[in-house]
């Protein structure tokens, strides 16, 4: 019985990671720019408001990853439409992408290297 529980746990854990990879796509700076350029997209900067005010990608909305309202603000967006996320260096947007999968988003694009890498 103990082995069945362990196998079930591992299957669930590994299956979840597989789902994340299918839903979340990591894009290079060039790919990200091409996909958002001159288009109406859900473009979200998950940095703090102070970081956002110091510079951001044109058209981005700021939803702070550390905010208590993170899930609330994302739940206002269309989960069936692609969402593009970025942060400073890629770490927070990676964590944010995982949360978005849990919230039910089905198409997530994360900027590799974050805003620091954006050209």
The reported pTM is: 0.82
Active site residue 109: no
pLDDT along the chain (119 residues), means of 10: 48 48 91 94 98 97 98 97 97 97 97 95
**Model pLDDT, residue 119:** 79
DSSP code per residue over 39-75? S--EEEE-S-HHHHHT---TT-EE--TTSTTHHHHHT
User: Given 46, 87, 100, 108, which residue is catalytic?
Assistant: 87
pLDDT at 44: 98
């Amino acid at each position: 019985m103990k082995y069945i529980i362990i196998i079930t746990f591992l299957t669930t854990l590994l299956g979840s990671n597989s789902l994340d990879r299918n839903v979340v796509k990591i894009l290079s700076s060039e790919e990200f720019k091409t996909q958002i350029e001159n288009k109406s997209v859900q473009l979200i900067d998950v940095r703090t408001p102070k970081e956002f005010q110091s510079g951001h990608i044109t058209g981005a909305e700021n939803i702070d990853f550390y905010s208590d309202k993170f899930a609330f603000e994302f739940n206002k967006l269309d989960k069936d439409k692609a969402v593009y996320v970025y942060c400073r260096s890629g770490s927070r947007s990676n964590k944010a992408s995982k949360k978005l999968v849990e919230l039910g988003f089905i198409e997530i694009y994360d900027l590799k290297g974050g805003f620091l890498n954006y050209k």
